Amino acid sequence: MDMTALPVPAVALEPSQLRRSCDAARLQFKTTAELEPLEGAPGQARAAQALEFGVGMRREGYNLFAMGPEGYGRHSLVLQHLEAQARRMAPPADWCYVFNFKEPHRPRALCLPSGQAPAFKAAMARLVEDLSAAIAAAFESDEYRNRHREIEGELAERQESAINEIGERAKAQRIALIRTPSGFGFGPMNKDASGVMDPEEFARLAPGEQKRYEEQVAALQKELGDLFHLMPKWRREALDKMRNLDREVTRAAVNSLIDELNSAYATLPDVQEYLRQVKEDTLENAAAFRQPGAEGAEAPLRRYAVNVLIEHSGTSGAPVIYEDHPNHAAIVGRIEHISQMGALVTDFTLIKSGALHQANGGYLVLDALKVLTQPYAWEALKRALRSREIDIRTLGQELGIISTVSLEPEPIPLDVKVVLVGERWLYYLLHGWDTDFAELFKVAVDFEEDMPRGAQDDELYARLIAGCVGREKLRPLDPGAVARVIEHQARDAGDAHKLSVRMQTLVDLLREADYWAGAEHHDVVGEQDVRRAVEAQIARCDRLRQRLQEHIVRGSQLIDTEGSRVAQVNGLAVLQLGDFAFGSPHRITARVRLGGGRVLDIERESELGGPIHSKGVLILSGYLSGRYVLNKPLSLSASLVFEQSYGGVEGDSASSAELYALLSALAEAPVRQSLAVTGSVNQHGDIQAIGGVNEKIEGFFDLCRTRGLTGSQGVLIPDANVKNLMLRDDVVEAAAQGKFAVYAVRSVDEGMELLTGVPAREIHARVEARLSEFAERARAFAVAAGKKSWRPERKK
């Protein structure tokens, strides 16, 4: 910096510079009811274009991430675009799960034309009913009974004649065949062959005769045993015949019914294949139709049910689904279980759809943070998007922690566009750390937080307000109320030349103004109602602000608002508590002495200062060493502190105040305590813009007003922040009356002159002299130290 250049003295800003008012007289309507509502999203042209592109681009990976802070209408704008596009699209196909006759644990997915799934389900239910009746009737028929009896009789006759044949052969040997409790036996006949020989008679026979009988009986027993071995085979043959008979009878009953259904779905090969399998299965399981018996999961006819997973009857256009609770099951679907005899069982009818099923063929909107905080939901979503199919797996299956018998339903092809809605940091975090993210979410939809406030934009914003009023069914606003709302939104944007497009705060303000208008029995919301709503919002949140101010007023926290003092400057800090931010003054002090050229940041040393604050303090060292005693070492030891600050300090907006305190200490120039300072500084001494300028000014103003406005009080702000000024009416009014002032400064020199009343050139000269003195004294110490060793000399 040119040391010879004289700073331009800073002057107090004009009241008109402190707040950009909206002139209600220029709004050409009586109430907002006359205005055509603006349904779009003003100021979101970039986001709207990105949405238009992303929504229309149906290629792999072109999913969207709508990023921006909460409350800026991301959901509504996204849904608005999606619904508009979805209306132009055809409704997607219906999907059902049916029993897989080949692999029962892998239910089959059936695709049907849009809206036809419920009819198919009803047709199958009717088919089962008809089959039950038809099969039962067929099995009750005389033909079936006669043929069944014939087979049974044939078997009985075959067995009987075989046994009788052996009996006849035995009889020829004078041996009788006897029926016993569990089978048959052989015994010698009596003399007249009318029955079995008495045991006494048998005992009287010669031993040879007895032995002959025993041998003959043994041979017959063996023969009978061999015959009995053949009987299960004969029974099986008879059973096969009966089974064939059953199939024949069932086929006759089933064919016409299934063929009728088949012809109704002639154009759907998958359905036809399924019906063919149903026919085969009914032939095998005809008994189930005759005695349906059990209910629940064990019901034998349940296998012919149709589980309509997703259907679109009565809808037009593609689906647009917003899933508010996107956990793993809600995204990919789930397989439920029911308790049966103490065990958990499931089947294909217990498969439930997820958001991906519902949105398939259309659009799915999810909150990014919710997806990421639900266990395995993000992985499941990515897997589905990558593979382009929905594979329903329960979390238990995926983790392998549940051994209950479960299903592996056939995956369903996926054609969906996913829109994630989230904050910017989340987008950048995912982009940086998740390699799949960039591949799957190629379209960023970046939402603005404000819109320009040109001459025509107040009118446009009035229409936006009219739209909100209409949607929320509120009382209309008069021009004065609209002007107040616009000013409030400019304040929310923190810029006199911009308007916040945070819809949440706008709608909240309109609702609350409507409430106060209702309380006052107003038909139209007026300026006073809006003012009251704003005041009530602040009053609900400002307990801490009041408590802090009370501490200052009662002297617990030391802040001077009059007089002058060396090395003491009023800095300003902003406290953000939830949605409410307010400014509060803090005393910043500096101490200097001869030292090693170091500026000590006490906040940092005590670990109460953040890195940006530390950076600001280090810049001060740079400023001092680059400006003063350039040919000598900087032999200064200085310390800086935020007095009575017990929480953390972050940001560099106090760095100019710290520099003023430091210069004041070095130049021994008292600083006016009626002024407060905000602004960061660079190594050249330029004052740079900071945030929260309105809150900071108002914070100091509130304290001064409480103690009494003297006319000498004011705040120094960076010149670059003048465009951000949207101060409260009372501040502007005080400034207009000359009771309070806001000064825009561009350089440290301007600030020092205002604070000390001493010309900057003189301040710099005093600082230069002080630092030179420090350097000389430091040199003197060094010389003295060089001549005289600090070690005691040894005697020779």
Residues acting as catalytic residues: 653, 696
Least distance (Å) between residue 150 CB and another protein: 16
Residue with tokens 């779009």: 40
Tell me the residue type at 580.
F
- Choosing from 101, 144, 202, 376, the residue that interacts with another protein (CB under 8 A) is 202
Which amino acid is it at 150? E
Residue 249 CB, nearest distance to another protein (Å)? 23
Contact 745, 772 (CB under 8 A): no
> Is 188 a binder of another protein (CB under 8 A)?
yes
Interacting span for another protein (CB under 8 A) from 90-98, 187-195, 389-397, 709-717: 187-195
Min dist CB 227 to another protein, Å, is: 8
Q: Does 189 bind another protein (CB under 8 A)?
A: no
Interface with another protein (CB under 8 A), residue from 110, 112, 138, 176? 176
Angle between helices 760-787 and 748-756 (to 10 degrees): 100
234 binds another protein (CB under 8 A): no
9 binds another protein (CB under 8 A): no
Q: Among 104, 225, 596, 611, indicate the residue that binds another protein (CB under 8 A).
A: 225
- Give the residue carrying structure tokens 């049916």: 98
Q: Does 153 bind another protein (CB under 8 A)?
A: no
Contacts of 581 (CB under 8 A, 6+ apart): 574, 575, 692, 695
Per-residue DSSP letter, 409: P
Closest approach of another protein to the CB of residue 140, in Å: 16
Whose CA is closest to 77, among 502, 512, 385, 508? Answer: 502
Q: How far apart are CA 455 and CA 452, in angstroms?
A: 10
Instruction: Find where tokens 């088919």 sit.
Output: 127
Round to whole Å and give the CA distance between 326 and 8: 60
Task: Spell out a b/e string for 74-112, using b for 16 or more CB atoms within 10 Å of the CB, else e.
Answer: bbebbbbbbeebbeeeebbbbbbbbbbeeeeeebbbbbb
Shortest gap between Cβ of 238 and another protein (angstroms)?
A: 16
Answer for which of 123, 178, 536, 709 binds another protein (CB under 8 A) is 178
Angle at 369 between CA 381 and CA 76, to 5 degrees: 95
Helix axes 269-284, 117-140, angle to 10 degrees: 30
Nearer to another protein, 169 or 531 (CB): 169
Residue span binding another protein (CB under 8 A) among the ranges 123-131, 176-184, 549-557, 750-758: 176-184
Judged by CB under 8 A, the stretch of 124-132, 195-203, 251-259, 578-586 that binds another protein is 195-203
Q: Total number of residues binding another protein (CB under 8 A)?
A: 27
For 582, the 3-state DSSP assignment is strand
Stretch that binds another protein, among 61-69, 182-190, 355-363, 461-469 (CB under 8 A): 182-190
The token duo for 42 is 């003003």
Q: Are 127 and 289 in contact (CB under 8 A)?
A: no
By CB under 8 A, tell whether 396 contacts another protein. no
376 binds another protein (CB under 8 A): no
Residue 670 found at the interface with another protein (CB under 8 A): no
Residue 293 CA to residue 525 CA, distance in Å, equals: 70
Q: Which is nearer to another protein, 25 or 206 (CB)?
A: 206
191 contacts another protein (rule: CB under 8 A):
no
Q: How far is the CB of 202 from another protein (least distance, A)?
A: 6
What is the Cα–Cα distance from 712 to 562, expressed in whole angstroms? 8
Question: Is residue 198 within the footprint of another protein (CB under 8 A)?
Answer: yes
Number of Cβ atoms within 10 Å of the Cβ of 777: 12
Q: Is 195 in the site for another protein (CB under 8 A)?
A: yes
Out of 199, 314, 578, 647, which residue is the one contacting another protein (CB under 8 A)? 199
Q: Is 196 in the site for another protein (CB under 8 A)?
A: yes
The answer to whether 610 and 653 have CB atoms below 8 angstroms apart is no
- Which of 185, 610 has the CB closer to another protein? 185
Using CA of residue 111, residue 112, residue 118, residue 119, what is the dihedral sign? negative
- Can you tell me which of 29, 144, 228, 515 binds another protein, judged by CB under 8 A? 228
155 forms part of the interface with another protein (CB under 8 A): no
Kindly tell me which residue out of 34, 60, 129, 214 binds another protein, with binding defined by CB under 8 A: 214
Is 408:105 a contact under the CB 8 Å cutoff? yes
Is 185 a binder of another protein (CB under 8 A)?
yes
Nearer to another protein, 201 or 298 (CB): 201
- List residues near another protein by CB under 8 A: 176, 178-185, 187-188, 195-199, 202, 213-214, 217, 221, 224-226, 228-229, 231
